[in-house]
Amino acid sequence: MLPSEASAPHPGGREIETLSEFDEVVAAGGSLAGHRVQAVDLTGRTAALLTADTTGAVFLGCPMEEDAAARVRASGALVFPPVPGLPFDPYRGLLYTPDELFAGLADGGYEATPDACAYAWFQRTKADGDVFASMLRAVHDDSLSDALDDLLHGQRVVGDGGTSLLERS
C-alpha cells in the first residue's frame, strides 16, 4: 500500500468499533478490505483474520494472535498494536461512560479512578517533549472526537461557551 492510500478515505467510511460489528462484517462476506478496526479485541477471531480479505485495512490497537497479525500485515493491512502500560486506550472508538471513568471511586477515592489516572499521566507527560507521548495524546483526542462525531451524526447541536464578565470590564 502506498502512503497516499493509507490517508485516503476508506470505502463507505466503514469503521468497526465493536466485536459485534466485526462479526457482522465478516458474516456478510468476509471482506475487511479498507475497513478501520478500532480497539477491538480480536484474539478470539484468528480464523476470520486468517481468511478474510484485509487489503488496505487498518487495525488500531486491536489485540490479536501473532499469526493473525502477521497474515493481515502480509496482505497489506496496517497493524498498530495496543500500547501497554497506559491508563487509557489511545485508539478507543467509543465515548467513555461515567461508570468507566469513575470505576473504583467508592473503594479508593477519585485518585483510584481511570479518569484520575489518565489525567495524572497527562500531567506527567505534557511538557516532557516526548514525541511518543504527544502522539498518544493526539491519537486519543482524535479518537474521542471521532466517537463524538459518530454520536452526533445527523443531530443539530448548539454549543454555548458563555461570556466572561472580566472581559467586559
Let me know: does 135 contact 86? Beta carbons within 8 Å: no
The whole-number pLDDT of residue 5 equals 43
Question: Which residue type is seen at 54?
Answer: T
The pLDDT of residue 30: 80
- What are the backbone angles phi and psi of residue 23, rounded to the nearest 5°? -60, -40
- The residues spanned by each domain of the chain are 1-82, 85-154
pLDDT of residue 167: 55
Blockwise average pLDDT, block size 10, the chain, 169 residues: 40 80 92 95 97 95 97 96 94 93 95 95 91 94 90 84 57
Give the per-residue pLDDT at 29: 86
With both helix axes pointing from N to C terminus, report the angle between 131-152 and 114-125 in degrees, rounded to the nearest 10: 140
